[in-house]
């Protein structure tokens, strides 16, 4: 076995969950929140963001409790320096994202080291995407986006955006690490689109200025969560090699979206 290749741990499991945020939150949802979370929810003036927050946090606790073997209300969450939630002691790795009527949660074994990142965005073609791309994309990403046919630009923008957000969320740096200091490539027809010739099929990290990091340390998956949405998952590459083969732990079962509604008792949905 070469020094660059690592044995994938037997317990390298993953689960992906989808949360319906269109439904109204229930008293049971609110009851699962900590006092600090309830105070935060009450500070939302607009109902929709309040509902999104309550539904997402309640579902997150149910999902984690399922793996921890405890009651959802007993799940204790801590927040990192830049706002990334985690479990004390790193018992499980997880991450969460929401946009409009969808929230996504990824949860996995402790072997991921808390370095799971997920992002979902509802596409809004009416936004000034060119301006955002010039401001937040790396130079090569912005050039790729701007050179795309107008009919593809919205899709390409949100695919790049979610991949980049997932990478940043895997690190939990918040806005302290600029999104222009790394670049990603998309996967198109078995090749890496937006990267230099000869690159293995994406999506993948092309370059990064994150201290101590390297592109081959990460794997990316684009997730199909429905029309008008784009989503991406970023996680450590436990195999530790840069090639076009899929990671062995990213099988159909691992990337299947489960419905978090099923975790709530029928009278609390």
* The predicted structure's pLDDT at residue 132: 96
Residue 130's domain comprises 14-268
At residue 126, the pLDDT reads 82
* Strand 85-86 to 93-99 pairing: unpaired
Range 130-151 average pLDDT: 95
- The pLDDT, as a whole number, for residue 224 is 93
Q: Could you tell me how far CA 157 lies from the centroid of its own chain? A: 16
Kindly state the percentage of the chain with pLDDT values over 70: 84
b/e code 10-38 from CB counts within 10 Å (16+ = b): eebebbbbbbebeeebbebbeebbeeebe
In total, how many domains does the chain have? Answer: 1
Range 89-104 average pLDDT: 94
Residue 2 pLDDT more than 90?
no
Place 91 in a pLDDT band, splitting at 50, 70 and 90. Answer: confident
- Residue 233 falls inside a structural domain: yes
**How much is the average pLDDT of 193-220?**
80
Question: Residue 81: inside a domain, yes or no?
Answer: yes
pLDDT digits (tens, 9 = 90+) for 249-266: 677 777 788 999 888 876
pLDDT band at 13 (very low <50, low <70, confident <90, very high): confident
Look at residue 3 and tell me if it is in a domain.
no
The whole-number pLDDT of residue 5 equals 40
CATH number of the domain where residue 41 is located: 3.90.470.20
Look at residue 1 and tell me if it is in a domain: no
Q: What percent of the chain has pLDDT over 90?
A: 64
> How would residue 81 be classed by pLDDT, with cut points 50, 70 and 90?
confident
**pLDDT attached to residue 175:** 80
Output the pTM of the full model. Answer: 0.89
Q: Give helix then strand counts, H and E, for the chain.
A: 6, 12
Segment (H or E) for 63: helix 47-68
């Amino acid at each position: 076995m070469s020094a660059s290749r690592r044995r994938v741990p037997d317990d390298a499991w993953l689960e992906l969950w989808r949360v319906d945020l269109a439904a109204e939150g229930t008293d049971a949802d609110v009851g699962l929140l900590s006092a600090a979370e309830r105070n935060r929810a009450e500070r939302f003036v607009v109902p929709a963001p309040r509902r999104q927050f309550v539904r997402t946090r309640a579902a997150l606790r149910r999902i984690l409790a399922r793996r921890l073997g405890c009651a959802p209300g007993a799940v204790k969450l801590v927040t990192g320096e830049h706002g990334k939630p985690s479990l004390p002691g790193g018992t499980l790795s997880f991450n969460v994202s929401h946009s409009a009527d969808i929230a996504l949660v990824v949860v996995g074994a402790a072997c991921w080291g808390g370095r799971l990142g997920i992002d979902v965005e509802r596409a809004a073609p009416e936004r000034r995407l060119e301006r955002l791309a010039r401001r937040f994309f790396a130079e090569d990403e912005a050039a790729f986006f701007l050179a795309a046919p107008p009919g593809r630009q919205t899709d390409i923008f949100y695919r790049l955006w979610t991949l980049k957000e997932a990478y940043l969320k895997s690190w939990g740096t918040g806005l302290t690490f600029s999104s222009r200091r790394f670049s990603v490539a998309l996967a198109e027809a078995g090749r890496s689109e937006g990267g230099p010739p000869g690159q293995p099929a994406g999506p993948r990290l092309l370059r990064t200025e994150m201290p101590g990091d390297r592109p081959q340390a990460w794997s990316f998956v684009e997730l199909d969560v429905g029309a008008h949405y784009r989503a991406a998952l970023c996680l450590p590459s436990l195999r530790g090699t840069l090639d076009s083969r899929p990671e062995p732990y990213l099988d159909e079962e691992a990337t299947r979206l489960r419905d978090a509604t099923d975790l709530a008792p029928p009278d609390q949905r």
